[in-house]
Amino acid sequence: MCNTRWISIEPAVCRILDQWIELKTLFEIARRDEHCYTAEILYNMYNDPQNHLYLLYIRPILQEVQVVNKLFESNDVDPTRLYNDLIGLVESIGRRILNPTARVDILTEDIESYLDPKPYMGYAFETKLLEYNLQPNAANYLRQRCNNFTLKLVTELRSRLPVNFKILQKISMFSVQETLKVVKPSIVEIAQEFRVNAPMIEKLVSQWRNIVHIKWESLTSTVKFWNEVMQYKDAADNNPFAELCEFAMSLISLPHSNADVERVFSQMSLVKTKLRNRLAVRTLNAILYVRFGLKRAGKCCYSYTVPDNVLRSIGTKEYYDSGSQPSTSADVDEDEDLNILFP
């Protein structure tokens, strides 16, 4: 099990807590009537109040992590806000165990020296702790165990932040809300970080300042907003924001997780099965191109209409002759085919 696989246990923890009494009763009956050793172990675990309290503590934390994790897996989120959400998660979890008066940067500094000796563990935890009436030593041990979990979680999340996360965090300035503010941060610093030359920076600064003077329609989605900017034309049929739009789109399109790559491998496993293990790489690529092209177009195999020129070319000598010729650039051919199918 990898170091991040534990994130997926949040639904299991919630189900266990929701059915705690029922599961405890089930294993008690099984150990008594069936003399099952495994049931005996599980009953002892459910009968231990420390285990119950520990799960009550980690449940809200795992729920926070799961929300942000789902955001990074989704294709329908605003990419300019993802890093802010991730950094907000780290700070939210870290503040649970830090001294309220501590002045420390959770993202970069060592926080072990600023821990609260007796932090508030949450309403569910504190309420149940009073009901169980644990011995002081047991309660202190449990609190330390919860602190260690939180500290380890913060460390793991921090280790997964990119080195230049502060720069990537500034991508949020290209959200539609920030872009259209009259008073907004300068674009110079982030342009310098991405090695933009001086003449281009001059254009970006001017376009960044002037973009607020146009009345735009797509104000709810950052991606749709920049698509609208890309299509904008002035009186001379030129785009006065072409350089700014290209720069913004290049930043917004940066991959923020490996979820899309994993989806490609999952689809590949569904296509190239044991029964089709001799499928050629070119054919496999073509099938995946069609699948993801349909997804991008919002179509399915029964709702997609094949273009007339593609239908006319099927079965023709010219098409198969051109396809049988060796090509030095297979990627270019595949891109052209994809553009024909999904214009």
Q: Is residue 263 part of a domain?
A: no
Tokens representing 320 are 């198969």
Q: Coil, helix or strand for 286?
A: helix
Residue 104: partners with Cβ closer than 8 Å, 6 or more residues away:
98, 111, 114
Q: Among 137-146, 229-238, 244-253, 318-327, where is mean pLDDT lowest?
A: 318-327
Q: Is 230 found in the same domain as 281? A: no
Q: Is residue 21 part of a domain?
A: no
For 115, phi then psi, to 5°, come to -70, 145
Quick: pLDDT tens for 274-314.
888 888 888 888 888 888 888 777 788 788 888 888 788 77
Q: Is 114 found in the same domain as 93? A: yes
Secondary-structure breakdown of the chain: helix, strand, coil percentages, each rounded to the nearest 5: 65, 0, 30
| pLDDT of residue 341 exceeding 50 | yes
CA dihedral 40, 46, 50, 54 (to 10 degrees): 130
Domain boundary (144, 161, 178) is at 161
Q: What is the mean pLDDT of residues 11-37?
A: 93
Quick: pLDDT tens for 158-207.
887 777 677 777 888 898 988 999 899 899 988 988 889 999 999 999 99
Q: Is 321 found in the same domain as 277? A: yes
Q: Is residue 277 part of a domain?
A: yes
Q: Is residue 140 part of a domain?
A: yes
Q: What is the count of structural domains for the chain?
A: 3
Q: Is 197 found in the same domain as 227? A: yes
Q: Is residue 116 part of a domain?
A: yes
pLDDT of residue 124: 94
Residue 115: partners with Cβ closer than 8 Å, 6 or more residues away:
97, 98, 99, 147, 151
pLDDT of residue 335: 55
pLDDT of residue 319: 57
Q: Is residue 42 part of a domain?
A: no
**CA-to-CA distance for 27 and 44, rounded, in angstroms?**
9
pLDDT of residue 286: 86
**CA-to-CA distance for 145 and 56, rounded, in angstroms?**
13
**pLDDT band, very low/low/confident/very high, at 327 (cuts 50, 70, 90):** very low
Q: Is 216 found in the same domain as 141? A: no
Looking at the DSSP assignment, which residues form a beta bridge with residue 98?
Answer: 115
CA distances from 204 to 4, 53, 235, 300 (A): 40, 55, 20, 40
Give which of 199, 200, 213 is closest to 242, Cα–Cα: 200
Q: Is 177 found in the same domain as 155? A: no
Q: Coil, helix or strand for 131?
A: helix
Residue 234: partners with Cβ closer than 8 Å, 6 or more residues away:
240
Q: Is 288 found in the same domain as 194? A: no
Q: At what angle do helices 281-297 and 259-271 cross, to 10 degrees?
A: 120
**pLDDT band, very low/low/confident/very high, at 132 (cuts 50, 70, 90):** very high
Q: Is residue 6 part of a domain?
A: no
**CA-to-CA distance for 244 and 191, rounded, in angstroms?**
10
Domain boundary (161, 184, 212) is at 161
Q: Is 329 found in the same domain as 299? A: yes
The number of helices, as runs of H, and strands, as runs of E, in the chain is 18, 0
- Cα dihedral across residues 256, 258, 263, 268: positive or negative: positive
Q: Is 155 found in the same domain as 56? A: yes
Q: Is 135 found in the same domain as 72? A: yes
pLDDT of residue 329: 46
Q: Is 337 found in the same domain as 277? A: yes
Domain boundary (161, 190, 213) is at 161
Residue 130: partners with Cβ closer than 8 Å, 6 or more residues away:
none
pLDDT of residue 202: 94
pLDDT of residue 42: 94
Tokens representing 63 are 């729920």
Q: Coil, helix or strand for 243?
A: helix
pLDDT of residue 297: 75
Residue 97: partners with Cβ closer than 8 Å, 6 or more residues away:
115, 116, 119, 147, 150, 151
Quick: pLDDT tens for 195-217.
899 999 999 999 999 999 999 99
Element (DSSP H or E) covering residue 157 = helix 136-159
pLDDT of residue 123: 94
Q: Is residue 32 part of a domain?
A: no
Domain of 218, in residue numbers = 169-252
| pLDDT of residue 334 exceeding 60 | no
Element (DSSP H or E) covering residue 262 = helix 259-271
Q: What is the mean pLDDT of residues 262-271?
A: 85
pLDDT of residue 340: 55
Is the distance from CB of 23 to CB of 16 less than 8 angstroms? yes
**pLDDT band, very low/low/confident/very high, at 2 (cuts 50, 70, 90):** very low
**pLDDT band, very low/low/confident/very high, at 75 (cuts 50, 70, 90):** confident
Q: Is 202 found in the same domain as 136? A: no
Q: What is the pTM of this model?
A: 0.73
CA distances from 235 to 178, 240, 245, 255 (A): 27, 10, 18, 36
Q: What is the mean pLDDT of residues 38-51?
A: 94
